[in-house]
Amino acid sequence: MARAVEEYLKPDVVRRIARLDLRAQFIVRGFLQGLHASPYQGFSVEFSEHRRYAPGDDPKDIDWLVYAKTDKHYVKKFEAETNITGYLVIDTSGSMAYTYRQQLTKLDYSISLAAALCWLMVHQQDPCGLMVFDDRLHASLPARSRRSQIAQVLSVLAKVKPSGRTDIARSLVQVAAMLRHRSLVMVFSDLLADPAPVRDALLRLRHRGHDVILFHVLDEAEVRFPFEGMVELTEPEAGDRMIIDADAARRGYVAAVEAFREEYRATCVQAGVDYVPLDTSMQFDRALMEYLVSRRNRF
């Protein structure tokens, strides 16, 4: 059973499903089956009883399955809470087209996750909206919870093509200006930009009362640097090229990527944003768990 569930969540398996609607259902089905198969007593897939752990809470109330998935402490509480409006905000710039040896590009991976989250949100009667950007917002759908919204969101996602440069900070400022009600903003990007203006844009979203999850999506090769010998690297948006000795550069490169991720993690801590580092070889369940625990009042 565990093996079958795991197969649902692997990017290389999901890639074989051409239709985005079926791909979304496939991912969610595997995720939910994994939750239902959990040995943890009292675990609720609806997450209607969770909020962030706070000093004074009984440690016995901590849900350790949620902790295992998110590295964050949540406690179970029996409080009725309203649904949350969610917006999927997806970076479609040229750098998101990159893949080395994985079946999914960074954009493919992000779209697959976003499609699954849309399916999950609407089936839980949470309104779901969509915004896509490169150096600015260039498509959006208002949030709705009716079933037809899934088809509309997936129709837009299926047509998305990566191109152009990115301006994450400017795009997030536009997002903040467009949202009129408190929402859960889920951003998918490789974040290949200066963290300082991105931090300021995230703070603007938070100051306007929005919750934010930042899914930092890198290609598996960008994280592990599997290259050998002399290789030519191309900057995907500017087109600049350079030839390097991969063996000599590997240690410094990996350290730089770790520092890059750590800087964004620290930026998100400062802004009160949930930071989720992902790469295109990782199963989809971690991102889905982040949404489920965030759809309720976390404070």
Is 115 inside a domain boundary? yes
Q: Is residue 248 part of a domain?
A: yes
Contacts of 254 (CB under 8 A, 6+ apart): 223, 224, 225
pTM: 0.78
Strands (E) in the chain, as ranges, are 50-52, 74-76, 85-91, 128-133, 137-144, 183-189, 211-218, 230-234, 241-245, 274-279
21 within a domain of the structure (yes/no): no
Nearest CA to 285 out of 16, 15, 65 is that of 65
The pLDDT of residue 79: 39
Question: Given this model, what pLDDT does residue 188 score?
Answer: 96
Q: Residue 132 sits in which domain range?
A: 82-294
CA 147 to chain centre: 22
Residue 225 belongs to some domain of the structure: yes
Total domains present in the chain: 1
Residue 26 resides in a domain: no
The answer to whether position 279 is within a domain reads yes
- CATH code: domain of residue 253: 3.40.50.410
- 256 falls within a domain: yes
- Distance of alpha carbon 141 from alpha carbon 157, whole angstroms: 11
The verdict on residue 177 lying in a domain is yes
How many Cα atoms occupy the beta-carbon half-sphere of 65 within 13 Å?
19
- The reported pLDDT for the residue numbered 167 is 94
pLDDT in tens, the chain (299 residues): 444 445 545 676 666 666 787 778 778 777 776 654 443 333 334 444 566 777 767 777 777 777 776 777 777 654 334 568 999 999 999 999 999 888 889 999 999 999 999 988 888 888 999 999 999 998 899 999 998 999 999 999 989 999 888 999 999 999 999 998 999 999 999 999 888 999 999 999 999 999 999 999 999 999 988 888 888 877 776 777 888 887 888 899 899 999 999 999 998 988 889 898 999 988 888 777 777 666 544 43
